[in-house]
Amino acid sequence: MNNSVDYRPEPNLAYAVVFGFVMVLGLPLNAVSLWILLRRHSLKSSNAIFMVNLAISDLLLVISLPMRVYLYATGTWPLSSKACNCITMLFRNNIRLSAIFITFISVDRLLAVVYPLRSRHLRTASNAWKSVALVWLFVLVVNIPEGMVLAGNLNNSSESTCFEFRGQHQQQQQQQQEQLRLALSYFQIVLVVTLLTVNLVSTALVSCTLHRRLNDSAKVNNKVNVMLIFAMNLVMFTICFLPVSVGVLTIKRHEITPLVCLASVNCCLDPLLYYFSLDAFWKKKEDVDLAREQ
């Protein structure tokens, strides 16, 4: 049996250019950010731990983009259906992981600003690593039924591309897979909307707290940076995560590619979070520690 999949989609240079741009920009941005986070910032900080995992998630998405570029540039898919399945899962995992880790960063900033003393025992490296481990485990568990649906679509679709499915399955099997697909799609929307709500509440609480402390001795620049973090988080949810999550249910599957392009841009925006979230992002860890002691 031949494991390769004979796909004949229409080439679309616009999609190829967008994915290529995200790949060319996202790879160095996230690679450099990850290097700086690991080299110059201590992983004893919960915020830094969340950002390292966010950068890893973005890099996993970026390494899947060359095949998307090839597919939309040439209209052919040279790899197996399993490779197509893996690349699709990397994109979906990035949406979930990015949404969750961005929310963790927001909640961490919320606790640091609104409850700086009472939250010290919560904002520890140990708790951060436990949270990160649970998130990765959660995503892997979700991949099991989702991978089954994708595999069924690829194996049974009579006319498909690697990221678009148009064929008809046997009726019973089609109904079962469609029910599971709908359940996963609703789950995705509920997850994104819930995390967006957490970010909205966190933004409101932090904004009120900073407004009350407007005359404090704290530097205004730091307050601006804090609000920029929350503003960027909301932008990524409303532009990158929410449209594609809703589009899975409301748009035909072979017409959702524009929203996928939009969602993939989040891996180019995330590095800005690192700059605004961590004090002296470009400085060495020793310099940051010294500045805090003075």
Tell me what pLDDT residue 18 has: 92
Structure tokens that stand for 247 in this block: 């589009």
Residue pair 19/51 in contact by the 8 Å Cβ criterion? no
Provide the CATH number for the domain around residue 90.
Answer: 1.20.1070.10
Tell me what pLDDT residue 182 has: 81
Question: Sorting pLDDT into bands at 50, 70 and 90, what band is 164?
Answer: low
Residue pair 50/101 in contact by the 8 Å Cβ criterion? yes
Q: Does residue 292 lie within any of the structural domains?
A: no
The pLDDT tens digits of the residues spanning 70-102 come to: 888 888 877 777 888 888 888 889 999 999 999
Range with the lowest mean pLDDT among 101-110, 120-129, 157-166, 196-205?
A: 157-166
The domain containing residue 265 runs over which residues?
13-286
The pLDDT tens digits of the residues spanning 25-71 come to: 999 999 988 888 888 777 778 888 999 999 999 999 999 899 888 88
Tell me what pLDDT residue 175 has: 65
Q: 161: which strand partners?
A: 164
Question: Sorting pLDDT into bands at 50, 70 and 90, what band is 183?
Answer: confident
Span 141-170, average pLDDT = 64
Chain centroid to Cα 11, Å, comes to 27
Q: pTM for the full model?
A: 0.82
Q: Does residue 148 lie within any of the structural domains?
A: yes
Q: What are phi and psi of 80, to 5 degrees?
A: -80, 170
Total tally of structural domains belonging to the chain: 1
**Averaged pLDDT of the chain:** 78
Q: How many helices and strands in the chain, by DSSP H and E?
A: 10, 2
Range with the lowest mean pLDDT among 29-38, 143-152, 189-198, 211-220?
A: 211-220
Q: Does residue 291 lie within any of the structural domains?
A: no
Q: Does residue 2 lie within any of the structural domains?
A: no
Q: Does residue 3 lie within any of the structural domains?
A: no
Q: Are strands 164-165 and 160-161 parallel, antiparallel or unpaired?
A: antiparallel
